Chain A
Amino acid sequence: MNIVRAASRKRWARALGLVLLVATSGCKRDAAWDQPFVRGDIVGLRGAVAVVDDAREELVLLTSPGKNALAMRRLHIGKNIVSAVPSRDRDLLLVLSRGDVPRLHADDERPLLSVISGDANPRIVKRYALDDPLRKLALDPEGEWAVAYDAEGAVVNVNELMLVHLAEPEREPIPITTSLGGSPVRFTFTAPLSIPGGGAHRLLIVETERDLSIIDLEDPTAGETVPPLPRPPSAALPRPAQVVFHDDLPGDDDVASYVAVRLANDSSVVTLRLAPPNPGSRAAFSIVYNVVDAGAQPSTVDFVETDRGLRLAALVPERRQAVLFDPATSKSEVVEFDQPYSGIARITGLVADEPAVGDVALLYSDSAPSIAFWRLAEASSTPYASFDPYPVEHRVSQVLDVPGDEYAHLKLLTGQGADEFFLLDLQSRLSHPMRALSGFSLRLSPDGQRAWAFAPGALQFAQLNFRDKHPVSISVERPVTDVFDIERSSGSGRTVLALHLAQASPFSGEASSDFGVTLFDGERPDSADSRFHSMLILEGW
């Protein structure tokens, strides 16, 4: 009897212990609550702002359904997001994730390339499973191709590329391995280039630290073309710095498309003419290689049309001149300038008096406060009179194009470390200097109607409306980190989001942060008509 009672007591004690254990332990919450938010890529799209939330392996997508209204959506992208790159028109966002690393089980997540629509209703439109984890992403400006590269692992081929044909989502990614000596650092997707007897092909030019490779995007598996690069006199390895291209000029008897390569450590410029393929070769073209010398280190090169035909212009600010090379004959002409112009932008179709022959280029300098309009139709006949210099107050290091057609004749000229920028009207040749906060940044609205200027950390930012060229300052109550102009999901109107990013105290030892936004009407912003949201890392779960 005692034995029975003792056994019963034990059972009761165990049951009670189990109840107490369950009652006092509870369920552990989702581990994501313990993961601090660490700022990943923040990308402005056409109708949304995408914020990478690494800890939750998600994209936080902020959209605006109406005036001063905010909506959030979270898209699970994949584990270990490493890169998020928008398309040039901001209609797409490509996100590269590495998946489970190391991948030990069959159900572990593979590396993924996710394509997200950038409109006001963001969604995953396509996912590509990749074989290996890749860390970097390059996107075709035309939105047709993407390249994932920079593999990681115990042993990797740094020249392995994964080509993804975005225009044909059903196509599997195409693995490409180049035979370059270095690792890829830059990709150039060309426009369709005419090939003698072979139609027009788009090319992918892969630059490394020491060489380059050309891949025919019409048939990426056909093999690469690796042109030789001249070895600089210093015996250092040649270092490609810039690739430009030009299709065959209409009306020419001979089809001749060109690619030119500027080196960062040599005065030589390599020109490559696309020629018919060699007999027996699978490639659709061959190249005719040539090297021209600009006399000194050129700061930039570009193909231009002059009164004598197609020329490769190399700006040599050290000598205050431009050298115009005939890519067919390698003959050169020199145009002497009054200033050391270092940058060039073709503006032929944007000026008021568009010439019938030849290009018009905008010259600017990062070492002298001057810009110039260069009429290339006169560059060969009267080179000394072919350019019209305009003094400006600051040096210019960057020229921003306004999206769309309505205000394409406006250019925004900014300088390194300056507290001013210029709105240059190419048709009237008038510049509108704008004084801004020190360390400002510029964001152009995707609809091409306005620009936003802000200085990270400031309590103000400004709208510059291209219609009246009138800047409007807007005050916020929290420091601005970035500004995004998006279209509303209602279809009418625009909303501007001033992003506020909170970083953890540097003394706390935490890497956590948070972010909030202040919403304004994008077309008529008013400091007294806004809506503030914060703690967005906790919303939308």
Chain B
Amino acid sequence: MIERRRCRRVGVVAWCFASWGSPAFGAEPGAESTPPAAAEESPPTPPVDGAPSAPEARDETGAPESAEAPSTTAAEPAAPAKRDDSGKSKTARSATSSAGAEVEVLSDDAASSGALTPRRVRAGAFAGLRTLFVLGGGYEPYAERALLWSLSLGGNLVLSHEGPLALALGLNWDAGASNSDARGGDTEIAVHRLTLVPEARYALGGRVVAFGRVGVGAAYLGASIEDRVLGTDREAEQWVVTADPGVGVALRLGGRRSREPSPGFWLILDGGYVFSTPADLAFTSEDAPARSAPLRLEELSLHGPYARLSASLGF
């Protein structure tokens, strides 16, 4: 209990000293009952692509590790050191400052070795369902309502992090389709978006991470319309440039209680606005008569707000 109390008081600065710049993110997730001192009070590690996955520091047995920094001014006896299976010594001391405030500081040797820093997740993957509320024109022939549903798949890597902040880069693929009829003729459209997604994350605790991102990429539009004069379908396709800034929040599901994000399954809700260059689809058919003019409808502009619900696995 004393250690837990101490752990809660570990400051952000102390955690940063202990973890920042450490290449070793290999510490095992800590046990929920006694989270690592350095990690508990420190800013949590942001998730990968909305999948917060900063690991809790734990030993291989699952017992929580505790890190006590040596105090600059000794106020009480140092806590007994624990040893994990790797044999690394993890010590921390509680100290009282000259002003009387109790602080915990990582020991120099622990900080320098990096052995006490939590493991940082470098990758994540997600799958979700996204709906785009199409405000742009030209979509009416393909859907009775101004919605485009799509399946979202993606992966990402954390490029750097500092405190509660982290930067990641992801690659997303959205595949959506809609079909309807336009004045009696069957219509169909498929949209495939491939975007590169720079992302900034801010951990709000062990279970909640907020993030903002901007997806930039290209979208492939493939559409068909039943031509009843020809008795066949006319088809068109075009690539457009697309960008979708958005924000979201990730919630870790299950797992042990933690004061920092950790690997596992995350539920992510995000939303934003999709921008897209307009597409001037020219519908043609191989069965059309010679010198057939392509059918051109109103320019299709797939822009509008979107929302996405997805599940992520951070690791």
A interface residues (Cβ-Cβ under 8 A, vs B): 19, 22-30, 32-37, 55, 68, 70, 476-478, 500, 502, 504, 510, 512-516, 518, 530-535, 537-539, 541
CB within 8 Å of A: which B135-151 residues: 140-141, 143-147
B184–A24 touching, CB < 8 Å: no
Q: B290 contacts which chain A residues (CB < 8 A)?
A: 477, 530, 532
Q: Which of A25, A28, A476, A512 contacts B183 (CB 8 A)?
A: A512
Q: B88 contacts which chain A residues (CB < 8 A)?
A: none
Q: A530 contacts which chain B residues (CB < 8 A)?
A: 290-291
Q: A37 contacts which chain B residues (CB < 8 A)?
A: 183-184
A34–B144 touching, CB < 8 Å: yes
CB within 8 Å of A: which B260-293 residues: 271, 283, 288-293
Report the bound CA distance from A284 to B150 in whole Å: 78
Known: A28-B145, A502-B228, A538-B141. A532 touches B182 (CB 8 A): no
Report the bound CA distance from A532 to B143 in whole Å: 27
Q: Which of A24, A512, A535, A541 contacts B229 (CB 8 A)?
A: A535
A541–B146 touching, CB < 8 Å: no
Q: B133 contacts which chain A residues (CB < 8 A)?
A: 22-23, 26-27
B183–A55 touching, CB < 8 Å: yes
Tell me the minimal C-beta distance from B291 to chain A in angstroms: 5
B140–A33 touching, CB < 8 Å: yes
Q: B307 contacts which chain A residues (CB < 8 A)?
A: 19, 23
Which of B134, B228, B289, B298 has the most A CB atoms < 10 Å from its CB? B228
A26–B145 touching, CB < 8 Å: yes
Q: B184 contacts which chain A residues (CB < 8 A)?
A: 36-37, 504, 510, 512-514
Q: Which of A34, A478, A510 contacts B230 (CB 8 A)?
A: A478
Tell me the minimal C-beta distance from A111 to chain B in angstroms: 26
Q: List 20 A-B contacts (CB under 8 A).
A: A24-B131, A24-B147, A33-B141, A33-B183, A35-B183, A36-B183, A55-B183, A68-B291, A477-B290, A514-B183, A515-B229, A531-B291, A532-B288, A532-B292, A535-B185, A535-B228, A538-B141, A538-B183, A539-B295, A539-B297
Q: Which of B134, B292, B295 contacts A538 (CB 8 A)?
A: B295
Tell me the minimal C-beta distance from A50 to chain B in angstroms: 19
Tell me the minimal C-beta distance from B244 to chain A in angstroms: 15
B58 CB-CB contact with A under 8 Å: no
B 77-94 to A, binary, CB cutoff 8 A, 1 in contact else 0: 000000000000000000
Which of A33, A37, A68, A537 has the most B CB atoms < 10 Å from its CB? A33
Which of A25, A504, A516 has the most B CB atoms < 10 Å from its CB? A516
Q: B147 contacts which chain A residues (CB < 8 A)?
A: 23-26
Q: A514 contacts which chain B residues (CB < 8 A)?
A: 183-185, 227-229
B295–A27 touching, CB < 8 Å: no
A28–B144 touching, CB < 8 Å: yes
Q: B228 contacts which chain A residues (CB < 8 A)?
A: 502, 504, 512-514, 535
B4 CB-CB contact with A under 8 Å: no
Q: B181 contacts which chain A residues (CB < 8 A)?
A: 34
Tell me the minimal C-beta distance from B236 to chain A in angstroms: 12
Tell me the minimal C-beta distance from B272 to chain A in angstroms: 13
Report the bound CA distance from A535 to B231 in whole Å: 11
Report the bound CA distance from A388 to B185 in whole Å: 59
Q: A500 contacts which chain B residues (CB < 8 A)?
A: 229
Report the bound CA distance from A25 to B146 in whole Å: 8
A502–B229 touching, CB < 8 Å: yes
Report the bound CA distance from A513 to B184 in whole Å: 8
Report the bound CA distance from A35 to B133 in whole Å: 23
Q: A518 contacts which chain B residues (CB < 8 A)?
A: 289
B259 CB-CB contact with A under 8 Å: no
Q: Which of B289, B291, B296 contacts A539 (CB 8 A)?
A: B296
A29–B146 touching, CB < 8 Å: yes
B289–A535 touching, CB < 8 Å: no
Q: B296 contacts which chain A residues (CB < 8 A)?
A: 539
B131–A23 touching, CB < 8 Å: yes
Tell me the minimal C-beta distance from A20 to chain B in angstroms: 8
Chain B residue at smallest Cβ distance from A505: B228
B213 CB-CB contact with A under 8 Å: no
B140–A29 touching, CB < 8 Å: yes
Report the bound CA distance from A91 to B242 in whole Å: 49
Report the bound CA distance from A148 to B146 in whole Å: 42
A29–B183 touching, CB < 8 Å: no
Report the bound CA distance from A291 to B230 in whole Å: 60
Q: B193 contacts which chain A residues (CB < 8 A)?
A: none
B6 CB-CB contact with A under 8 Å: no
Closest 3 CB pairs of A and B: A512-B184, A26-B145, A477-B289
